[in-house]
Amino acid sequence: MLARGLRETQRELNRPMVGVFVMVPHEASMEMVAAAGYEFAILDLEHGAMGITEAARMIAAGNGRGLHVLVRVPQADPWIGQVLDAGADGVVVPSIDGVEPARKIVRHARFAPRGDRGLSAYVRAADYFATLRTEFVARSNERVLAAGMVEGPHGLGQFDAIAAVDGLDVLFIGPMDLSLALGHGGDPEHPAVVETVVRLRERVSERGPAMAIWAPDATAAARWIDLGIEFVAVGTDVGHMLAGLRAPLAALARPTS
């Protein structure tokens, strides 16, 4: 595990950080993401074909290369505790549509008295009991990042209330599902989607949570970075792989199927 959490690192750098979603369930994916120079990776357990066993190995591989690793879990319980015990730097929970689901993320991500995360000191995050329980609890409560994704109509309607939830570190905007909610399905770069995100950014105070977003390409990512969104995930490993595989064929003027 890294000495500092992702949110601590971003604050110290005082600039946006760039990452990528990872869907290919193999440790090599994490090592290549780190070698390419990304600062964080988000393992996608919501849409990727992986479970806790693959995720645990990938978290370790990423941490070993100095990569901050978040995990997008399918739902808060029981996934949050499992991926944090495996050493993840934080969790991203999709489809947050109100205050109570946001509070649930915080509760599951923090030990008492800040939450109700179950404690075991015999897990990777605690160095398999090499770290004292009290040190492990204090370190985890300080460094683990809790993020909720706002991406649907109900979440948009409750945005200000969700942003005010104590302990929620990051509001993650999901532009793909947001495009569905706004009637522009599958087009995260539609002007209405972009304008909505810009307005949401303006509504988050300096004392509020950080913001994160997924960008389909570098052009979109640059726009969000210029807007000051703290965490920008550019594409997915699958998309980058497909683009890389197609590039030589395009250069050779060979059709792709």
Joined together, the tokens standing for residue 36 give 């390419």
Chain-centroid distance of CA 243 in Å reads 23
- In the set 26, 47, 154, 184, the catalytic residue is 47
Concatenate the DSSP letters of all residues of 210-244 into one string. EEEEEESSHHHHHHHHHTT-SEEEEEEHHHHHHHH
> Contact at 8 Å (CB) between 6 and 89?
yes
Tell me if residue 190 is catalytic. no
For residue 248, cis peptide bond before it (omega within 30 degrees of 0): no
The amino acid that residue 235 corresponds to is: G
Is the Cα dihedral 70, 76, 79, 83 positive or negative?
Answer: positive
The Cα–Cα gap between 38 and 20 comes to: 7
Give catalytic residue positions.
47
